[in-house]
């Protein structure tokens, strides 16, 4: 078992927080240093959810920050409501916790897990491999480091940067009488409904038709068999598969289809190929993609000559960087940066996947 001060998590968002809960199965808060700028691990999610008026999570019962999938949020909801309905919905893949339920869950875990005792309010800018582990802006060396730096900024199409009508979906906004929504994923679909409910006329501009699926990647890629098949792909094939898997999508169902069908009949919703003359443009275009947009990861790649492929840092099947990890130390990526190892790495299930494999390396490492 590692000694005090050898484990570090860089990033205090939900990916880092979920990893922390997993590490707490074996470690005390004083053995884990979490570097981040937000005390509240849900701060960024809270802002984004409020901006798009999100009420339900796309994730299902296991979309939580606990170390194991069961018991999930459906089980806890059933206990709180004294009703089996959430469990029945979970069995049919129809249970989706509310945003408020999820945020309350995060707050309970924060209070009982020792998170605030581990947190160090600092923004790490550089990670360097040194004798004995890794140095974080002069702090360290930490023998095992998990980088959970989050999404590298909001993505706004170049042609809309200077357009005064444009706002990103994840920034606070209301709706004009006429609204163009750029994008085709879950945020875009949510904004279609929000603007229609506000009485707006809505134009959807997208490069492709969205995929209709319950989760952000197909369920098979959450399973061992699906991942084994994915991990056998060569670099070029894996890049192509990731691009296909990460195409814009939102869930099927009447909740989405009926309001849009009704609005089309009323001539209040249409699809166009390019931005037109509406009063407002909402960029539901997600986040920038690729390690080059993350200063910490970009410096890490340049400083150590790491292998990359089409914007992803090449990882082993558990999310560790092979060139910088061995029997004595570990450097792993979590969150969206770990998609090379787990296509749905930017989900809570993905954060758990990487955290468990990181913990295995930590506990198997010889005590110095």
The per-residue pLDDT for 58 is: 74
> What proportion of the chain, given as a percentage, has pLDDT over 90?
79
Averaged pLDDT for residues 138-166: 94
Q: Do the Cβ atoms of 12 and 34 come closer than 8 Å?
A: yes
Q: Does the structure show a pLDDT above 90 at 89?
A: no
With CA atoms as reference, report the closest residue to 357 among 328, 323, 316.
316
pTM here is: 0.91
Q: What is the mean pLDDT of residues 64-88?
A: 63
Q: Where are the beta strands (DSSP E) in the chain?
A: 7-10, 32-36, 119-121, 127-130, 133-136, 139-142, 144-147, 166-168, 178-182, 201-205, 211-212, 249-250, 269-272, 280-283, 308-309, 312-313, 330-333
CA distances from 21 to 6, 29, 67, 244 (A): 17, 10, 6, 31
CB of 19 closer than 8 Å to CB of 354: yes
pLDDT value of position 91: 46
> Which of 47-61, 173-187, 281-295, 323-337 is the least confident region?
47-61
More confident: 87 or 311: 311
Asked if pLDDT for residue 2 goes beyond 50, the answer is no
- pLDDT-derived band of residue 365, with 50, 70 and 90 as boundaries? confident
337 three-class SS = helix
pLDDT, mean over the chain? 90
Cα–Cα distance list, 18 to 14, 103, 244 (Å): 6, 13, 27
Residue 8 DSSP SS3: strand
Joined tokens for residue 153? 């900024």
pLDDT value, residue 135: 94
CA distance 183 to 348: 23
C-alpha to C-alpha distance for 301 and 282, rounded to whole angstroms = 34
- Do residues 146 and 356 lie in contact, with contact meaning Cβ atoms separated by under 8 Å? no
State the DSSP code for 38: -
Tokens linked to 163? 């357009």
Which segment of 18-22, 32-36, 109-113, 212-216 scores lowest on mean pLDDT?
212-216
């Amino acid at each position: 078992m590692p000694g005090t001060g050898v484990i570090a998590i860089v990033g205090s968002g939900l990916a880092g927080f979920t990893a922390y809960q997993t590490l707490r199965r074996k470690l005390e808060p004083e053995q884990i240093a979490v570097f981040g700028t937000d005390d509240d691990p849900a701060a960024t999610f809270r802002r984004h959810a409020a901006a798009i008026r999100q009420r339900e999570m796309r994730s299902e019962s296991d979309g939580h920050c606990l170390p194991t999938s069961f018991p999930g949020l459906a089980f806890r909801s059933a206990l709180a409501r004294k009703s089996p309905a959430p469990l029945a919905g979970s069995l049919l893949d129809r249970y989706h916790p509310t945003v408020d339920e999820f945020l309350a869950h995060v707050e309970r875990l924060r209070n009982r897990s020792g998170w605030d005792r581990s947190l160090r309010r600092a923004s790490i800018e550089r990670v360097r491999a040194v004798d004995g582990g890794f140095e974080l802006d002069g702090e360290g060396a930490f023998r095992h480091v998990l980088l959970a730096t989050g999404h590298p900024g909001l993505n706004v199409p170049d042609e809309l940067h200077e357009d005064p009508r444009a706002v990103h979906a994840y920034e606070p906004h209301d709706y004009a009488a006429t609204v163009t929504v750029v994008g085709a994923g879950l945020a875009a679909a949510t904004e279609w409904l929000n603007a229609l409910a506000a009485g707006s006329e809505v134009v959807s501009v997208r490069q492709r038709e969205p995929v209709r699926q319950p989760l952000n990647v197909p369920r098979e890629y959450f399973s061992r068999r699906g991942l084994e098949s994915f991990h056998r792909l060569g670099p070029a094939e894996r890049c192509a598969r990731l691009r296909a898997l990460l195409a814009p999508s939102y869930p099927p169902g009447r909740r989405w289809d009926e309001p849009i069908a009704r609005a089309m009949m009323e001539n209040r919703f249409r699809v166009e190929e390019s931005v037109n003359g509406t009063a407002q443009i909402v960029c539901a275009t997600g986040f920038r993609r690729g390690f080059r947009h993350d200063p910490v990861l970009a410096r890490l790649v340049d400083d150590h000559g790491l292998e990359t492929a089409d914007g992803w840092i090449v990882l082993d099947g558990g999310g560790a960087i092979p060139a910088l990890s061995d029997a004595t130390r570990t450097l792993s990526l979590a969150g969206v940066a770990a998609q090379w190892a787990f296509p749905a790495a930017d989900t809570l299930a993905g954060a758990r996947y990487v955290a468990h494999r990181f913990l295995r390396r930590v506990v198997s490492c010889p005590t110095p």
